Structure 1
Amino acid sequence: MSYPTTLTLIGGNSGGAFSLTGEHNGASLEKIGVWVGGWQVRGVKVWLSDGRVQGFGEAAGPYQEYHFQAGECFTSLSLWGNGEGTRLGAIKFKTNQGREFFAKMTDWGLKTEYPIDVGSGYCLGVVGRCGADIDHMGFMFLNAVQSAVLTNVNYPTMNQLIPQVAVEGIKSISFRNDSSNTQKQKVVTSKKITNKSSWSVSESLTKTFSLEVKASIPKIADVKVGFSVTSGSTSTYSQEQTEERTETLSTDIDVPPWRNVDVVITIGRAAFDLPYTGTVQITCKNGSVLQYETQGTYKGITYTDFKVITNESAL
């Protein structure tokens, strides 16, 4: 059976179990601090991208830490035991930013190096056992990734949203009919519009993988009492989507005999934030899937259809 994560534990088997990972929400390792002793790694402190922080073992002895940048991943990792099979002895890794971290016990020399499979390089956190020292520990990695998708997107408060729409006049024209016959006039206008959509997702994830979104994009509808938000059809988008296009309107206007007709064409523009819920599905190249529920904010800029307003008056 294939799994979406990989984990190798190095050290002894004493102490109590610990785990701090983003296996269930996609959070990644953001920062790690390590304390070392003469013959062991004494303690570690771990920060995840979702804000969780936890220390294991004892915070005593020489200390060093490493802070990962957004999108920074492991390219290699080696772990050592302390040579007696009782404790973790050293941690060494390199990243795709060309940086390196190496923390090792200060008195005992290193013996067997264990190169660790880092999968995709995206580290979800750490797992191990500890008491006063780090008995054993490993880093949990996401395996090589085939695709990452945000799907099952819902907007639970969409029906409660009252959009603030800025109405812009596109064209204004008047027609005069001095005859006894109805005249037909054609009005043509166009406007370049830019629709924008984005779904907030963990920066550590979007800086590392290309995330697709399968969702409907909320749209603005002009109704009798103002404007409302409706849901369009579901399609596939990038996590930050910009669509530029030119909208063109061609409409016929009837001008009755001995009348003036004033024509105004408008369009509405709305920008809004909308909470969403959804599911992140990360499919690995080995066929396994890491899936978890998520929530965030949809930010959109969208336009209404053209609106044609006519006003008829006597000559």
Structure 2
Amino acid sequence: MAQATCKRVSSHPAPPTASSVAEDLLSHQYCSRRSNAEVTAPLCFIGGRGGSQHVVKGWQEGKLITKLRVYSGPWQIKAVRLWLSGDGDSEYKQFGEPGGSAWAEFAFQDGEVVTAMSLWGNGAGTRAGWIHFRTNKGRSFDYGMHDWPKKTEYPVNVGSGILVGAIYNAGADIDAHGYYFLDSPIARARATDVCYPNLTFDSHQITPITLDSYSQRNTSPHPISWGFSGNQVAKQSQKWTSQIGNSFTVSLTVEAAVPTVVKASGQFGWQLSVVSTHEAAEEEAHSLTWTVGGTLQPSEAISLVALTRRGKLSIPYNSTIVITLKNGATFSFACSGTYEGLAYTGVEVTDAPTASRLNAKPKSYLTL
């Protein structure tokens, strides 16, 4: 493609004339039909061919661009800073050299997406010149070189409007610029291959809870029947939170085994259930029911308690997040976070610590 020669000098070059304007367009693919579903929309890459290429693919880390700052030069964009979701204020990526250039920035609000974008070169085919976009919140960003006039406008295919990356040719200036958008809105997100590296079978945060008690003494000369029953409802819950957070503002389903409290060899500890599908946060009622009974002989006494074990857990987990777009394309990324769970066992009915039984050995009554 034709490209004008332009030496990098500290003084301001003259604005390009109509006869000297070179092509700013490096890549401008508008594909109305594509044989395969794509994750990102066709790229519009505008500017010159100098500088080293830098590519930010935020979606591969489960991130999107939340803020950008553009530094303007007289006949070029001098530099750009990008912040990705999960980054702190000081954790930005910078391309080009701002020097003492003036700048403008735009911070996206939650749920805010780009509805239209246009890019310009500097009109000489040597640098990036200008960027303009509008969002679904009725806001816009419009900034670039401050001496030269804008020439050819290149509309960008913004796809879903979800800004997930950028590409720059850059040295001291931004030689060329382009932006990656998810091609299609997100249909669903799911966490797979969930594992808990620190989970072991131990009694960590497992506490016995007394639900009810029962005492009876047979003071009659005849055998009597006794019964101890009850029902209580406890709330069990599980929640998977991510260090990345919900960058793509879509509900997450989790395909995972859930830590539960079980009894093995007389000890209570944590053990994983079978893998099933869950919401990222859910709560359910757990019925705690018990029914036991028997016969007391004359002068025999019984004292019982109904116990459950409550386990409260907060541990790290690792997983793979798979994002599926409405066009059928998928991408995935590693994700870690914290699992928080509240679980109960069934009910065990056993002798109370102060039980006094005459003419009978202590017993345990297990009811589930």
TM-score by length of 2: 0.77
Give 1:112's aligned residue: 152
Residues 176 and 255 in structure 1, CA contact (< 8 A), matched pair in contact too: no
Asked if the contact 2:201–2:271 (Cα under 8 Å) also holds between the matched residues in 1, the reply is: no
Corresponding residue of 1:56: 95
Deviation, structure 1 residue 178: 4.0
| Mapped contact 2:132–2:142 kept (Cα < 8 A) | yes
Counterpart amino acid of 1:191? Q
Quick one: which of 115, 130, 140 aligns to 1:75? 115
- Cα 1:231/1:204, change in 2 over 3 Å: closer
Q: Write the distance in 1 (CA, Å) between the matches of 2:223 and 2:115.
A: 77
Q: How does 1:38-187 map to 2 (within 5 A)?
A: 38-51=74-87, 52-60=91-99, 61-144=101-184, 145-159=186-200, 162-178=203-219, 183-187=224-228
Counterpart of 1:314 in structure 2 is 358
Q: Specify the alignment match of 1:20 in structure 2.
A: 56
Partner of 1:230: 271
Structure 1: distance between partners of 2:211 and 2:198: 32
How far residue 194 of structure 1 moved from its aligned partner, in angstroms, is 1.6
Q: Match of 1:292, SS?
A: strand
Question: Which protein, 1 or 2, shows the higher relative CO under an 8 Å CA cutoff with sep ≥ 6?
Answer: 1
Query: Distance between the aligned counterparts of 1:75 and 1:118, measured in 2?
Result: 7
Which residue in the other structure is 1:262 paired with? 303
1:289 aligns with 2:325: no
The offset of 1:253, in angstroms, is 2.1
Deviates more, 1:54-63 or 1:113-122: 113-122
Measured in 1, the distance between the counterparts of 2:210 and 2:224 equals 25
Q: Give TM-score, length-normalised by structure 1.
A: 0.89
SS class of match (2:172): coil
- Aligned-pair RMSD on alpha carbons? 2.4
Structure 1 residues 151 and 205: alpha-carbon distance in aligned structure 2, compared to 1, 3 A threshold: same
Number of the residue aligned with 1:273: 314
Q: What is the Cα deviation at residue 26 of structure 1? A: 0.9
State the Cα distance separating 1:179 from its structure 2 match.
5.4
Q: How many Å separate the matches in 2 of 1:271 and 1:110?
A: 62
Q: Distance in 2 between matches of 1:222 and 1:182?
A: 35
Structure 2 residues not aligned, in runs of 5+ = 1-35, 360-368
From 201, 219, 229, the counterpart of 1:188: 229
For the residues of structure 2 that align with 1:78 and 1:202, how far apart are their CA atoms?
33
Amino acid at match of 1:27: K
3-state secondary structure, aligned to 2:200: helix
**SS in structure 1 at match of 2:59:** coil
Deviations 1:39-93 (Å, cap 9, x if unpaired)?
A: 2111001122243522111213211122234443333322222222222221222
Distance 1:32 1:203, change over 3 A: same
**What amino acid is aligned across from residue 313 of structure 1 in structure 2?**
R
Hey, which of these two has a bigger chunk of strand by percent?
1
Q: CA distance change for structure 1 residues 116 and 179 in 2, over 3 Å: closer, same or farther?
A: farther
> 1:185-231 CA distances to partner (integer Å, 9 max, x unpaired)?
33332222222212122555356112111111111124455431111
Task: Give the CA deviation at 1:184.
Answer: 4.4
Match of 2:8 in 1: none
For 2:225 and 2:247, the matched residues in 1 are separated by 54
